[in-house]
A and B are shown apart, each in its own frame.
Chain A
Amino acid sequence: MDAQITLDQVGMVFDTGKEKIRALEPMDLSIKEGNFLAVVGPSGCGKSTLMRLLTGLTHPSEGTITIDGKNISGPTQDVGMAFQNASLMPWRTALDNVLVSFEVSPQHRRAYAKDPAPFVETAMALLTEVGLAQFADRFPWELSGGMQQRVNVCRSIVHAPRLAMLDEPFGALDAFTREALWAIMQRLWVERGFTAVLITHDLREAVYLADKVIVMSARPGRIVHAQTIDLPRPRTLEMTYSDAFQTHVHTLREQIQTEHDAT
């Protein structure tokens, strides 16, 4: 299968007026359709910049990004995003927060405006799948942090985007909630087959979810290591204690340590 997303010598320099700060060294990267890519690296290594570039929210200062062979020049459509901060709208219920994806997406908005019923059904089915059926009409502040993140993840994939961009969506949660959400995330990804890019600090999370993990260096960011994770799916929490899993985590850890020591 051809690569769905290709980065060709893409680099990023921020111009603050006083000085130019290089956030990303020119890099090449390709992501195949339906793959799960994880990006790990020390703080401030340009992971989030990379993600904003991939969704077209920021333009690269050099190089080109192509999705399905087309250069991207503005915010891409058919993408779902989830951030560490659940950023739900406090004036909308959980269900309405998920439905916003249909309300604004160019593919669905007209059909949604005409007859929202099937879309509400889709959203409810997804909320049910992540265990939030009884909480659909609750407001965000009535939900726990883990529940809010589940709503956030639902919002990012309910409209069946071909690409889901996940910027540390589980970063602020406690360990148990985080592990429960890994399983939910994996199940949704296996069922729906979208392409996913996950940015994370958590190496176990990266190895658990991804097909391929790339390690980025400290600023200016560049790819210093890429590792294919060939563990069978569906992966379980039990597997995270296996030797094969631990070996992957160790290798990544060493790469990051090398990067860390270098600075």
Chain B
Amino acid sequence: MNTRTIERAMPWAVTIGLFVIWELSCIFFELPVFILPAPSDIWVEAVKFAPELAYHSAQTLYTTLVGFALAVAVGVALGAAIGSSRMVYRGLYPVLIGFNSIPKVALVPILVIWFGIGTVPAVLTAFVISFFPIAVNVATGLATIERDMTDVLRSLGATRRDILIKVGLPCTMPYLFASLKVAITLAFVGSVIAETVASNKGIGYLMLSASANYNVPLVFAGLLVLAVLGVLMYAATAVLEMRTSAWAFRDSHLVQ
């Protein structure tokens, strides 16, 4: 087996290894199922409740993706405004930081008052929790443009729009995608928080009602489904990133 094959197998080996240690610890320490269920217990429960898990995770995925899409649109627009105008930066930045410091779980009751329980608060919570890193990174990306590069273009007769499209956007791409990877996982957190507090659908709701029934293995099944969804979404943005801004990773040892 060469190094490359081992490298490819690493994520699987570590994941499976963790589950094996988990399972063995549960057996060895004779932990009761309602404290820490073994992976095998979780699996049995997950198969039993497969239709419910599928239904509720589809709901969570839906609210997360809608919230995330909103966050991308608003985050990019805000970031572009902050990054290209000093005035906007001065005015908005403190407000944004203040807003970002508010624990988002505190917003959910307000959203419920405004929109009732269900899908809308979950979408909005996913949105408010994930737009901030996008806005900050887009602004940072725009701030890193070399003056020489814009000077060269301006002296050629380029318009502001030319410079934004030909230099600004490509320069910002690596920053944008770095933030998308953070934002997509945050969006999941937002959705689940809202579902836990106020919803009748979604993985968060499923986990809450499972724990109310002392079905701890099902709670863990919900957690694992969330983790899997998070990894899948992260991988999707990572693939998109490699397609659109491979040039930024030329020296990195983390990609081949």
Contacts and interface: CB of A to CB of B under 8 A. Distances in A.
Nearest to B153: A104
A79 B156 contact: yes
Nearest to A58: B151
Instruction: Name which of B162, B245, B247 has the most chain A CB atoms within 10 A of its CB.
Output: B247
Contact of B151 (A57, A78, A139, A155): A57
A139 B173 CA distance: 17
A101 interface: yes
A130 to B, nearest CB: 18
A76 B155 contact: yes
A165 B245 CA distance: 31
Contacts of B166: 89, 100, 103-104
B157 A57 contact: no
A141 B167 contact: no
A245 interface: no
Instruction: Name which of B152, B156, B173, B248 has the most chain A CB atoms within 10 A of its CB.
Output: B156
B154 A83 contact: no
Interface string B224-256: 000000000000000000000101101100000
A90 B248 contact: yes
A44 interface: no
Contacts of A91: 170, 173, 245, 247
B156 A104 contact: yes
Task: Tell me what chain B mostly uses at the interface: helix, strand, loop, or mixed.
Answer: helix
Interface in A3-60: 52, 55-57
A57 B154 contact: yes
Contact of B157 (A90, A106, A141, A165): A106
Interface in A202-254: none
B155 A165 contact: yes
B250 A104 contact: no
A156 B155 CA distance: 10
Contacts of B158: 104
A104 B153 CA distance: 7
Contacts of B148: 83, 85, 87
B146 interface: yes
A89 B148 CA distance: 11
Interface string B172-211: 0100000000000000000000000000000000000000
Nearest to A81: B155
Q: How large is the interface on A (under 10, 10 to 19, 20 to 34, 35 or more residues)?
A: 20 to 34
Given A85-B148, A87-B146, A105 B157 contact: yes
Contacts of B151: 52, 55, 57, 81, 83
A263 B231 CA distance: 63
Contacts of A141: 247, 250-251
Nearest to A84: B148
Interface in A103-152: 103-107, 139, 141
A87 B152 CA distance: 9
Contacts of A156: 152
Nearest to A87: B148
Contacts of B159: 104
A138 B5 CA distance: 30
B167 A89 contact: yes
Contacts of B9: none
A7 to B, nearest CB: 17
B146 to A, nearest CB: 6
Given A55-B151, A91-B173, A104-B158, 9 more contacts: A57-B154, A75-B157, A81-B151, A87-B146, A89-B166, A91-B170, A104-B153, A104-B157, A141-B250
17 contacts: A52-B151, A55-B155, A80-B156, A81-B151, A85-B148, A87-B152, A89-B167, A91-B173, A100-B153, A101-B156, A103-B166, A104-B156, A104-B159, A105-B156, A106-B157, A139-B250, A156-B152
Interface of A: 52, 55-57, 75-83, 85, 87, 89-91, 100-101, 103-107, 139, 141, 155-156, 159, 165
In the A-B complex, the 7 residue pairs with the smallest Cβ-Cβ separation, listed nearest first, are A104-B158, A87-B148, A77-B157, A106-B157, A91-B247, A81-B155, A75-B154
